[in-house]
Structure 1
């Protein structure tokens, strides 16, 4: 079966606001206030909790080291879990696009570097978990993207064939994952990196979910 696998953060949903808030919770508890900005730091947010902590500590504590990050990472995860869907929104047309794929006979799944429990919680709260035939998170397997194993697992769990699949994402991690799995990659241009993803030379660019079916047919038929 032909299969389309989606990244989650920055691809299906803009989660940056809630991610930034969770990092700022850590910095406020340390007495630094709101160190990160929800708009200008959105790209860093979608690269994960540790990336946000690194950026924030670099601004307020130049002599920080990884013990600072390690100490705050579980605090960040709990803060995020407690307020995971306050600001998060699915991108326009995402639900309709996925529904159109399914009604046309494609399997669909998610492969994300968000911890699986958090990803499952978010998808449930957004009311879209049942749309996806698979969900592989950062800790589902011993490895994570850009290792190809999570992608392959997402395709197989969805009932698809890797040779008839492709990955939709928003970052170099997704581009490298697709290359490692030897499948096409489409990168969205409506995420925080915008048109800059062109430099990663994906097989396709997805400018809106209204174009999803056309891109899919071009890449895997």
Structure 2
């Protein structure tokens, strides 16, 4: 059976509304113009520090304020769960993959505490055998080290990685693993510009795609 690791934001869940809320709370405290939900989605992908850096850039906040604003942002992150939703078909796909004997993991650039918090809130944490956040190691995606760590924690078996973004595509390529691209997430470029093994826009198709890839690999 396979080891299947998933990205989180933009892949399994649409968390942008919650992240949008905490970002604008931080900006409002500074007396600055708020950012849009579209900007929020554009800023997501490289972890909390890069998100705050991009947010600062959009509002002309100097670099000297990075540490203070990042601390404020992260302090609010654990409770940013109430507007987040699971993409259609995700739960059924995960349950099917588990029932077929595959081991599942998470490798996200979201800090590990809010990662666990949102999965527990959505009641899908039990479906994953390992979770790795953007602060679990000294490096984060697109460095492949966290993805390798997630696979190692899952034991033996063919490796598959599922994500939605250019960061995920680069991570999968650098890790040398097949990458399944969910096309309705937070990607910032065209599908044909991203290295991927297969692309899909409906999680109902995922179990069949996994079966087909495993047959091809065999």
Pair in the same fold by TM > 0.5: yes
Structure 2 segments unaligned to the other structure (5+ residues): none
- State the distance in 1 between where 2:50 and 2:148 align: 26
Correspondence for 2:37: 38
Please state how far the C-alpha of 1:152 moved relative to its aligned partner. Answer: 1.7
The alignment's TM-score, normalised by the length of structure 2, stands at 0.90
Correspondence for 1:96: 92
Structure 1 segments unaligned to the other structure (5+ residues): none
CA contact (8 A) 2:48 2:110 kept: no
- State the distance in 2 between where 1:212 and 1:194 align: 22
Please state how far the C-alpha of 1:216 moved relative to its aligned partner. Answer: 1.0
Tell me whether 1:141 sits opposite 2:140 in the alignment. no
- State the distance in 2 between where 1:46 and 1:203 align: 20
Correspondence for 1:156: 152
- State the distance in 2 between where 1:58 and 1:171 align: 21
- Give runs of aligned pairs for residues 5-154 of structure 1, distance below 5 A: 5-33=5-33, 35-61=34-60, 64-82=61-79, 84-154=80-150
Please state how far the C-alpha of 1:174 moved relative to its aligned partner. Answer: 1.0
Consecutive aligned runs of 4 or more in structure 1 exceeding 4 Å deviation? none
3-state SS of 2:78 partner: helix
CA deviation map 1:17-75 (0-9, x unaligned) = 11111111111000114x211245323234443344334333332xx332222220010
The alignment's TM-score, normalised by the length of structure 1, stands at 0.89
